[in-house]
Amino acid sequence: TVRTITALRGHVLQFSGDPFCDNPAEALTDWPDGLIITENGKITAIGDAVELLKTLPSDAVLYDHSGKFILPGFIDCHVHYPQTEIIASYGAQLIEWLNTYTFPAEAKFGDIEYARRAADVYLQQSFANGITSASVYCTIHPESVDALFEQAARYNMRIAAGKVMMDRNAPANLRDTAQSGYDQSKALLEKWHGQGRALYSITPRFAPTSTPEQMEATGALWKEHPEALVQTHTSENRQELEWVGELYPEHPDYVGVYEHYGLLGKGCVLGHGIYLNDREKAVLHETGTSIAHCPTSNTFIGSGLFDVRGSHFTHQPIRVGLATDVGGGSSFSILTTMRTAYEIAQLQGYSLHPVQAYYLATVGSAKTLYQEDRIGNIKVGMEADFAVIDPLSTPLIRHRMGYANSLIDQLFIQMILGDDRAIAATYVDGKRVYSQA
Ligand code: GUN
Ligand code: ZN
């Protein structure tokens, strides 16, 4: 195979530590005029551009983003691609929102052509927002899973996805059974997991839409395929919590249901986790289970305020990543998602430091998927996925940036005022997949 060498020049940012500490700014390392060299989709060198350029082979393709920030590609660790068409749907909280908007939309994804077009729209939206990896819910239909993995394979994207399983409390045309959900998931897992950079995520929607039999089958599947991931929802909404208590009266709490069926562990990502009790938090810590923080969803469908500080500054920390949760979430922009995470922290009386916010969307999300050795940071040996931020993307941002007095200040301005207009380019597997100009 031919060797493909790409290099990016710009203001390179790297996480050299964990910013959930007393001095978050120290977790960031930067090269104001930096160069990243990549070969066949992996980072081979990082350093000052003037020096490194001397070593660049003549067949390399050089992308000059001087004056712009080069960050690790953003990782959306919880999103529903079939819900792209119902983003911004009015006036309902979780259960009513699912029944009114979500289920009718998801019912269309048995048509693989429809699903392919929707998957493409979804991927283009992600790239236009600097998202280079995601953990994605498909629908009950195996076609919806094939469609997404096929489209993502065109970019050799590190994507995790899975077929939603539901065998109760959903419309008849959106139900599988404990057996068919297991069989279809297993076949898809064996077909896609490890194909290129694809990862399969076993995806029971949430405890209320699965019978105990389906939960059992799901746990059995993960036991047979521990290399796969698991994703589901937990403790998002008060009415949902009550419902789980009625449906599963024999378990101590919501997380206790997943615990009972062997669904917790390294590689399991639970969406939301807003109302966890101390026992649940301890179990997540002990099992290495992660949480996807979905700020714009939690405000948009009125679910509540996730305590991001509480999951880090404790003797029992939990891995947390950042997620759009479209279409419950109201934006594909990770910058907007960070802004909402900041606002949610403010409403609880503390501030989310910008380095912590960017970390959650990169290293943090990678850690939820146990992929932090491969994605989410800019280090030699890691995969070549990048987001490039134009720090002067709007008149207001240009004006405000004139008064910024530090790199941290500049990054904060981007996450508060920036959106898709700030994403200058996106690279996946060392190749440009999006560019504004
Ligand atoms: N809980 C179960 N399904 C869903 C979903 O599609 N979106 C959100 N936000 N929560 C859920
Ligand atoms: Zn969700």
Beta-ladder partners of 133: 75, 158
User: Which tens digit of pLDDT belongs to each residue from 361-398?
Assistant: 999 999 999 999 999 999 999 999 999 999 999 999 99
Residues enclosing ligand 1, CB less than 6 A? 80, 94, 98, 102, 205-206, 233, 236, 297, 325, 328
Does 122 share its domain with 257?
Answer: yes
Specify the number of domains making up the chain. 2
396's tokens: 């207001």
pLDDT at 437 (0 to 100): 78
Domain end marker among 312, 335, 368:
368
Within 63-170, residue ranges assigned H as helices are: 94-97, 103-106, 112-128, 142-153
Best residue for ligand 1 mutational test, from 96, 98, 206, 270 (most atoms within 8 Å of Cβ) = 98
Does 89 share its domain with 224?
Answer: yes
Tell me the pLDDT of the chain averaged across its residues: 98
Q: Is the pLDDT of residue 3 over 90?
A: no
Does 237 share its domain with 126?
Answer: yes
Q: How confident is the model at residue 213 (pLDDT cuts 50, 70, 90)?
A: very high
pLDDT at 1 (0 to 100): 66
pLDDT at 217 (0 to 100): 98
Domain end marker among 324, 344, 368:
368
User: Which tens digit of pLDDT belongs to each residue from 75-107?
Assistant: 999 999 999 999 999 999 999 999 999 999 999
CA 233–ligand 1 middle distance (angstroms):
7
Q: Which residue CA neighbors atom 7 of ligand 1 most closely? A: 328
Percent of the chain with pLDDT over 90: 99
Give ipTM to 2 decimals: 0.99
Best residue for ligand 1 mutational test, from 168, 233, 298 (most atoms within 8 Å of Cβ) = 233
Q: Which residue CA neighbors atom 8 of ligand 1 most closely? A: 328
Does 139 share its domain with 267?
Answer: yes
Domain end marker among 321, 348, 368:
368
| Distance, C-alpha 64 to centroid of its chain | 28
Best residue for ligand 1 mutational test, from 87, 101, 102 (most atoms within 8 Å of Cβ) = 102
Instruction: Let me know: does 202 contact 185? Beta carbons within 8 Å.
Output: yes
Q: How far apart are CA 310 and CA 316, in angstroms?
A: 10
Q: Is the pLDDT of residue 2 over 90?
A: no
CATH number reported for the structural domain that contains residue 418 in this entry? 2.30.40.10
User: Which tens digit of pLDDT belongs to each residue from 393-432?
Assistant: 999 999 999 999 999 999 999 999 999 999 999 999 999 9
Domain of 283 in residue numbering reads as 74-368
Q: How confident is the model at residue 116 (pLDDT cuts 50, 70, 90)?
A: very high
Does 355 share its domain with 226?
Answer: yes
Instruction: Let me know: does 128 contact 428? Beta carbons within 8 Å.
Output: no
423's tokens: 């994403």
Query: Which residue from 191, 201, 187, 119 is spatially nearest to 155, judged by alpha carbons?
Result: 119
User: Which tens digit of pLDDT belongs to each residue from 307-350?
Assistant: 999 999 999 999 999 999 999 999 999 999 999 999 999 999 99
Query: Which residue from 72, 139, 79 is spatially nearest to 384, judged by alpha carbons?
Result: 72
CA 79–ligand 2 middle distance (angstroms):
6
Instruction: Let me know: does 48 contact 55? Beta carbons within 8 Å.
Output: no
Does 289 share its domain with 417?
Answer: no
Report which bound ligand comes closest to the CA of 323: 2
Does 37 share its domain with 167?
Answer: no
Does 331 share its domain with 406?
Answer: no
Residue 67's CB is within 10 A of a number of other CB atoms, namely 14
Does 202 share its domain with 318?
Answer: yes
Does 26 share its domain with 172?
Answer: no
